[in-house]
Amino acid sequence: SWPHSLIFDKQHLLHRLYTLQQQDRHISAETIVRVAGEFNLPVSQVASVVDFYSFFYRKPVGRYHMLLSNCTSCGYQAGKTDLLKMLCRSLNVDPGVTRADGLVSISETSCIGMCDHGASMLINGIPLVGLDETKVTRIAGLVEQQLTLCQWPQDWFQITRSIRQSGMLLNNTGSSGNSLTKALSAGPGRTLDMIEHSGLRGRGGAGFSAGKKWRLCREATGDAHYVVCNADEGEPGTFKDRVLLQCHAGALFEGMTICALVIGARKGYLYLRGEYRYLLAHLQEALELHYSNNLLGCSILGHAGFDFDIEIVVGAGAYICGEESALIESLEGKPGVPRIRPPFPVTHGYLGQPTAVNNVETFIAAAYIVTHGSDNFRMAGTEQSTGSKILSVSGDCRNPGIYEYAFGVSIQEILDDCGADNVQAVQIGGPAGTLVAHRDFRRRISFEGVSTGGSFLVFGENRDLLTVNQNFARFFAHESCGFCTPCRVGTRLMEGSLQKIVDGRAVAADIEEIKRLSSLIMRYSHCGLGHTAANHMLDSLRQFPGLFEKRIMQQAFSPQIDLEAALETARQITHRDDADAHLD
Ligand code: SF4
């Protein structure tokens, strides 16, 4: 089913690169040439893929390769001690540099979706949670002893489900084929009517009507139609898909199969974020169960002519691949650079064919609707936001975890449930979302109120919001795919401006510059990442202006960039150190 250039020896390009990297601990120039030959691709295309994804390495990483999550919520700086520095010190290694004996390398990475488990890391791709000073000391000892991860305390790798409040979706544990049986007896047209009538909107945050998307895709002409599940949740503070994939994979596969029935697809892909690779075996097992129960494969549940297969493709650490057209590019074995739209994926998606892309929660909701009826679904929620929303709650609260509410729940109600006291603000929908201050906690979660893909980050009164902004700015600068200048350069400048404020080197004009820069990034960037990258800054400036003003300590302007220092690389490359190669 894969086009020849994307598949070799039954492996997708990303998987092949990952396998070879596992053997050599990096991807060498020779490996790139070899893979290009295997896949019949230009060497430059394979090289661009390797360079695009954070989890591919050109230089060898350590036999113990650790990536500490720098998410605001679960980050290694959350406590008093900077755990990354401590770990590096204990193992005598610099961040981002492999130790000379090749034993260990330590870096940081964006949110790994373990925000309900405290400070966390990926070690050789496997999540290790609940980091603290004691654990870091023990980890250093275990690494030096070169014990395999199987010999480490196994409770360090225990990822709990932490479901704190269940509603219609989380209570619905069945993957018995119920919803699929009903969809098959209703037929594709009436099933689509049901989804449309339910008012289901995509749960990723933008809220486009799922029924409308499916209808547009069904009506689009093409050689083939595709179903794609976006399981690439990378918004810092979001981890609900992790739990859904763990506990409700069956309902997800049924939702995807129902979509296939409606749009006339024979092939579907589950694009799993690289940080959740550890779930792959579980998901493959759930898939096999569906095949053995004839819920997938040929003549599904005895319906001749209804054939549908699902394959899982694992990403390699790129937040931008959560954007649907970037995800499709990645599925096609390319760097995940967002496409120019229109045309939209519903008409020109995977391999240029009509493609319905929805996220994990949306497909599970679709399966629920077919089982229980659209009226049942509409009974929960509000006029424009029907059904429920699953939230990932973390930050300064006693009970972080997964909470499912009918749309329309107030922010205050969620704070009461998760045990959050003395809260100054909540970041809803991740860094690209909305910062809501204390006085607005009566606002409600819905598409017409405060919209969210699922992240709900609580900031207690002792939290320095400026460092939160700094963390978010760094996140966007790191995750910008670099395709367009306003985002690539603008997010870096934003990071630098914030650093100036935090360091006490800013003047009042710097605040105005941040506003001007924000507007430029938002207006002229190519995709949603750039359009929303400054939301957090503008929200903070609007709601907590004092936060910035009290850090303005200087009257005289100082530049953000040390030009003399910035020229050093150029001097080295050109082998020049004469007077003309310096500014003064
Ligand atoms: Fe890439 Fe940013 Fe431009 Fe989007 S806005 S295409 S992430 S550089």
What does 57-71 look like in DSSP terms, one character per residue?
-SSPPPSEEEEEE--
Lowest average pLDDT, out of 1-5, 40-44, 388-392, 464-468, goes to: 1-5
Q: Is 530 in the pocket of ligand 1 (CB under 6 A)?
A: yes
Print burial letters for 374-401: b (CB count within 10 Å at least 16), e (below 16): beebbebbbeebbbbbbbbbbbbbeebb
Whether 561 has a pLDDT exceeding 90, the answer reads no
Q: Ligand 1 mean position to 526 CA, how many Å?
A: 5
The predicted pLDDT at position 235 comes to: 92
Q: What residues contact 505, with CB distance under 8 A and at least 6 apart?
A: 554, 558
The predicted pLDDT at position 80 comes to: 66
Phi, psi of 581 (to 5 degrees): -90, 5
Q: Is 212 in the pocket of ligand 1 (CB under 6 A)?
A: no
The residue whose CB lies within 8 Å of the most ligand 1 atoms, and thus the one to mutate among 526, 531, 532, 535, is: 526
Q: Is 83 in the pocket of ligand 1 (CB under 6 A)?
A: no
Per the model's pLDDT, the better-predicted residue between 1 and 226 turns out to be 226
| Dihedral angle sign, alpha carbons of residues 37, 39, 41, 45 | negative
- Which residue's CA is minimally distant from atom 1 of ligand 1? 481
The residue whose CB lies within 8 Å of the most ligand 1 atoms, and thus the one to mutate among 494, 529, 532, 535, is: 529
Angle at which helices 280-292 and 240-247 pack, to 10 degrees?
40
The predicted pLDDT at position 173 comes to: 66
Angle at which helices 178-198 and 249-263 pack, to 10 degrees?
70
The residue whose CB lies within 8 Å of the most ligand 1 atoms, and thus the one to mutate among 483, 492, 531, is: 483
The predicted pLDDT at position 5 comes to: 75
Whether 451 has a pLDDT exceeding 80, the answer reads yes
Per the model's pLDDT, the better-predicted residue between 296 and 575 turns out to be 296
Whether 214 has a pLDDT exceeding 90, the answer reads yes
d(CA 128, CA 469): 26
Banded pLDDT at 206 (limits 50, 70, 90): confident
Structural Rg of the chain based on CA atoms: 24
Q: Ligand 1 mean position to 480 CA, how many Å?
A: 5
List Cα–Cα distances, 524 to 389, 484, 530, in angstroms: 32, 9, 8
What does 530-570 look like in DSSP terms, one character per residue?
HHHTTHHHHHHHHH-HHHHHTT---SS---SS-HHHHTHHH
Q: What is the pLDDT of residues 131-160, one digit of tens each?
A: 999 999 999 999 999 999 999 999 999 999
Whether 580 has a pLDDT exceeding 90, the answer reads no
Q: What is the pLDDT of residues 483-507, one digit of tens each?
A: 999 999 999 999 999 998 988 888 8
Q: Ligand 1 mean position to 205 CA, how many Å?
A: 18
The predicted pLDDT at position 196 comes to: 98
Per the CB < 8 A criterion, the answer to whether 332 and 195 are in contact is: no
List Cα–Cα distances, 272 to 242, 288, 440, in angstroms: 10, 17, 36
Q: Ligand 1 mean position to 483 CA, how many Å?
A: 5
DSSP state of 321: G
The predicted pLDDT at position 568 comes to: 86
The residue whose CB lies within 8 Å of the most ligand 1 atoms, and thus the one to mutate among 527, 532, 535, is: 527
Atom of ligand 1 nearest to the CA of 525: 5
Q: Is 484 in the pocket of ligand 1 (CB under 6 A)?
A: yes
The predicted pLDDT at position 550 comes to: 86
Per the CB < 8 A criterion, the answer to whether 244 and 454 are in contact is: no
Q: Ligand 1 mean position to 347 CA, how many Å?
A: 22
d(CA 216, CA 206): 17
Quick one: 369 exposed, middle or buried, by C-beta within 10 A (0-12, 13-18, 19+)?
buried
Banded pLDDT at 290 (limits 50, 70, 90): very high
Q: Ligand 1 mean position to 53 CA, how many Å?
A: 15
Q: Ligand 1 mean position to 485 CA, how many Å?
A: 8
Strand 121-123 and strand 126-128: the pairing is: antiparallel
The predicted pLDDT at position 506 comes to: 87
State the distance between the two ends of the chain, measured CA to CA, in whole angstroms.
63
Q: Ligand 1 mean position to 339 CA, how many Å?
A: 10
Q: Is 529 in the pocket of ligand 1 (CB under 6 A)?
A: yes
Nearest to 529 by CA among 580, 566, 457, 475: 475
The predicted pLDDT at position 395 comes to: 93
The predicted pLDDT at position 549 comes to: 87
Whether 73 has a pLDDT exceeding 90, the answer reads no
- Which residue's CA is minimally distant from atom 5 of ligand 1? 530
Whether 35 has a pLDDT exceeding 70, the answer reads yes
Nearest to 53 by CA among 417, 246, 381, 319: 319
DSSP H or E stretch at residue 106: strand 104-109
In three-state secondary structure terms, 498 is helix
The predicted pLDDT at position 581 comes to: 86
Q: Is 109 in the pocket of ligand 1 (CB under 6 A)?
A: no
Q: Is 525 in the pocket of ligand 1 (CB under 6 A)?
A: yes
Lowest average pLDDT, out of 69-73, 294-298, 490-494, 538-542, goes to: 69-73
Whether 413 has a pLDDT exceeding 70, the answer reads yes
The predicted pLDDT at position 6 comes to: 77
In this structure, the dihedral spanned by the alpha carbons of residues 465, 471, 473 and 477, taken in order and rounded to 10 degrees, is 180
The residue whose CB lies within 8 Å of the most ligand 1 atoms, and thus the one to mutate among 110, 324, 341, 484, is: 484
Whether 366 has a pLDDT exceeding 90, the answer reads yes
**Residue that the structure tokens 């990354």 belong to:** 84
The residue whose CB lies within 8 Å of the most ligand 1 atoms, and thus the one to mutate among 319, 320, 325, 520, is: 320
In three-state secondary structure terms, 310 is strand
Q: Ligand 1 mean position to 236 CA, how many Å?
A: 18
Banded pLDDT at 308 (limits 50, 70, 90): very high
Q: Is 488 in the pocket of ligand 1 (CB under 6 A)?
A: yes
Atom of ligand 1 nearest to the CA of 491: 2
Lowest average pLDDT, out of 10-14, 75-79, 316-320, goes to: 75-79
Q: Ligand 1 mean position to 487 CA, how many Å?
A: 6
Whether 1 has a pLDDT exceeding 70, the answer reads no
Instruction: Give bridge partners of residue 401 from the DSSP assignment.
Output: 393
Joined tokens for residue 494: 């934003």
Atom of ligand 1 nearest to the CA of 488: 8
Q: Is 533 in the pocket of ligand 1 (CB under 6 A)?
A: no
d(CA 499, CA 39): 44
Q: Ligand 1 mean position to 486 CA, how many Å?
A: 8
Q: What is the mean pLDDT of residues 267-284?
A: 97
Whether 179 has a pLDDT exceeding 80, the answer reads yes
* pLDDT, mean over the chain: 94
Whether 358 has a pLDDT exceeding 70, the answer reads yes
Per the CB < 8 A criterion, the answer to whether 245 and 391 are in contact is: no
Q: Is 468 in the pocket of ligand 1 (CB under 6 A)?
A: no
Q: Is 526 in the pocket of ligand 1 (CB under 6 A)?
A: yes
List Cα–Cα distances, 293 to 16, 163, 300, 363, 375, in angstroms: 30, 28, 9, 20, 29
Q: Which domains does the chain have, with CATH numbers?
A: 4-52 (no CATH), 64-160 (3.40.30.10), 164-378 (3.40.50.11540), 388-461 (3.10.20.600), 466-564 (1.20.1440.230)
The predicted pLDDT at position 251 comes to: 96
The predicted pLDDT at position 551 comes to: 83
d(CA 330, CA 10): 17
Phi, psi of 27 (to 5 degrees): -115, 110
Q: Is 336 in the pocket of ligand 1 (CB under 6 A)?
A: no
